[in-house]
Amino acid sequence: MDEPLGEVTIAPNVLTTIVRQTTLEQRGVTRLAPLPPKVRGRVGTARAADDGVFVAVTEQGVQVEVHLAAENGINLLKLGETLQASITRAIEEMVCMTVASVDVYIDDVTLAILPPTQDS
């Protein structure tokens, strides 16, 4: 019964979905930011890019690059470190793949829009 019944293949786009959902669920993330043109150009076999997320599957494991905008006033370093741990955990638990790296780029900070005062 321990013999494999066939092959299981996880498409790179599945990995981008996992990364995107994990990132957007994190408190302090307001949105994903567009990927730089140099990153979008790297899409190919065993690679995928979508909505601020780039994923490559290499011999070392899954390499992730995520670009995002964060809320103003939060600890950006802590947000990045939390995302690295959350994304790694999600990929390892959901698809049992080794994560080689998670690079988090905070490309923008969203400023809070204050409601108009009665004096305005």
- Residues 4-22: tens digit of each pLDDT: 789 888 888 999 999 999 9
Q: Smallest Cα–Cα separation from 65: which of 15, 14, 108?
A: 15
With tokens 């790296």, the residue in question is 101
- Residues 16-60: tens digit of each pLDDT: 999 999 999 999 999 999 988 766 555 555 667 778 999 999 899
CATH superfamily of domain region 12-108: Cation efflux protein, cytoplasmic domain (3.30.70.1350)
- Residues 66-113: tens digit of each pLDDT: 999 999 999 999 999 999 999 999 999 999 999 999 999 999 998 866
pTM for this entry: 0.83
Is 44 in contact with 63 (CB distance < 8 Å)?
no
